[in-house]
Structure formats: C-alpha cells, structure tokens
Amino acid sequence: MTSRRVRFEGHLSDELSGSLHRAENARGGILMAHCFTCSSDLAVNVRIAKHLVERGYNVLRFDFTGLGRSGGDFQDSTFVSNVGDLVRAAQWMLDAGLGPTGMFGHSLGGSACLIAAGRIRTVASLVLLGTPGTADHILNHIATDDVEAIEVEGCKEVELAGRRFPISKDFLDDLHAYEHGEAIADLGRPLAIIHSPDDRTVPISEGERLFAAAGQPKAFYPLIGANHLVTDPEHARRAAVFAADWFDATGAGSFGS
C-alpha cells in the first residue's frame, strides 16, 4: 500500500493532515472519518484502509481539527467543525480527481459523515462503524458535574478514555442540536451499519436505531466479539471485507458513474 502525507485547509482555516493511500487502477475513492478524540492513525483505520486499497479504492484518512497531526486547538472544534472538516477533505479529493465515491465513519465520525454526505455530490454510499444513534450519546461519558461546569464556564477539561480534553459549551450545544433521524431521511444514499453486540462504549442499540431510521437499500452487520475501537486485527479484517463488498455493490467502485 503506497501512501503519502497530504495537507489541506480545514473548516476553521487550520492546516489538517491526512494520509492518502493510492490503489493501482483505482475504481473509487473512500473518505474516512475517525472516532471522537481519536486520530486517523488508530489501528482499525489503517487496517481498513489497507484492505480497501487492496480492493481497488483510493483512501484518504485524516485528523480532525486539533487532533493527531492536524493543526488547530481541539477546544475550538465542534461537531459542526468536524462536518466542515469532512467537506473540506472531500473537496481536496475532488480537486485531485480522487472522488470521494464513498465514506467510512467510525463512532462520532460516522455521525459527522451522515451530515457531510449531503454536501458531497460524488458520494454513492456510506458505511458507519460503532456509530451512536444520537450524537449527544457522548454526554453519557462525561460526568454530570463536568457537564454542568461546562455550561457555566464555557469550557472545561474532562477525562475521556484515560486522557484529558477541553470540551466547550459550543461542542455540547452542537451535539444537542444534531438530529440523526433528519440526517438519515435526507441522506438518499445506501447506508450500511457495522456494530458489535459486545461494544461497551456505544451499545448496539444505538446502531439499531440508525438502521431502523434508514431507508432501503441498507444493511446491518453485527461485528461479533469486537470492542468499540476494534483492536483485534481479525475483527478489523471482517469489517473491512464487509465495507468493501458494500461499496462494490452500491456504486462506490465506479468513478464518474
């Protein structure tokens, strides 16, 4: 898998960093969105990108504002800015003649994909992995006292997955305003949901909620045994095979179609 580092301007005018993987005789291009407070270098992203390249897809995985190698301050990022970063990434791919013809989103990155896809005309279909049915599901992982402090102070550092991140009131307001039902109703694209019944971070009921709201064509794949970050290589391989098959079946493998 050949890859190179790329940079482009994000929604908040900061320089974002990504990795572009090129396939030989590519049939399509997939834009990937990583999970909340993660980075595009999370092992599952790299493993899935590698398989998609082997199946004939160019892949761009990038870091949202303030995370990974991207510039900007995480405190300034919001759900809206994540959506905007995805749109900017898609425009970079369009300008380079690389699509995107499909989108793959993990966790809250999947929620952002649902909104961004409506602004990206070339996207034929989407695959979401471990994605919450409501974006404010993240509030379940922030202590009530911290949420109250954020509302009063405007921003506060909170602990998430063993690390501390500044969470702003604007971010929480964005999450409250997001409505997955409207996003799916307006999507108009084939949608596949991958979710583990063993996910302890975002329970499978969240993925089932998304699936119920989606119109046909749609698919649901229970990734049995996987944790939320899909750390087991075999689980990542199974998710990647399903995703590639879905993109093949739903037109994401045909540039210009």
pLDDT digits (tens, 9 = 90+) for 126-159: 999 999 887 666 667 676 677 778 888 888 777 6
User: pTM of the prediction?
Assistant: 0.91
- For the record, the structure tokens of 184 come out as 């799916």
- Sign (positive/negative) of CA torsion 224, 115, 80, 11? positive
Could you say which of 3.40.50.2000, 3.20.19.10, 3.40.50.1820, 3.40.50.300 is the CATH number of the domain covering 2-134+179-249?
Answer: 3.40.50.1820
pLDDT digits (tens, 9 = 90+) for 188-241: 999 999 999 999 989 999 999 999 999 999 999 999 999 999 999 999 999 999
pLDDT digits (tens, 9 = 90+) for 102-111: 999 999 999 9
Q: Which whole number is the average pLDDT over 10-30?
A: 96
Cite the beta strand spans of 10-54 per DSSP E: 15-22, 28-33
Crossing angle of helices 144-153 and 169-177, in 10° steps, is 110
**Angle, alpha carbons 225-226-229 (nearest 5°):** 165
Provide the pLDDT for residue 184: 86
Say if CB 115 and CB 108 are below 8 A apart.
Answer: no
**Binning pLDDT at 50, 70 and 90, where does residue 160 land?**
low
How many helices (H) and strands (E) in the chain? Answer: 8, 10
10 Å CB burial of residue 110 (0-12, 13-18, 19+) is buried
Q: Which whole number is the average pLDDT over 108-123?
A: 93
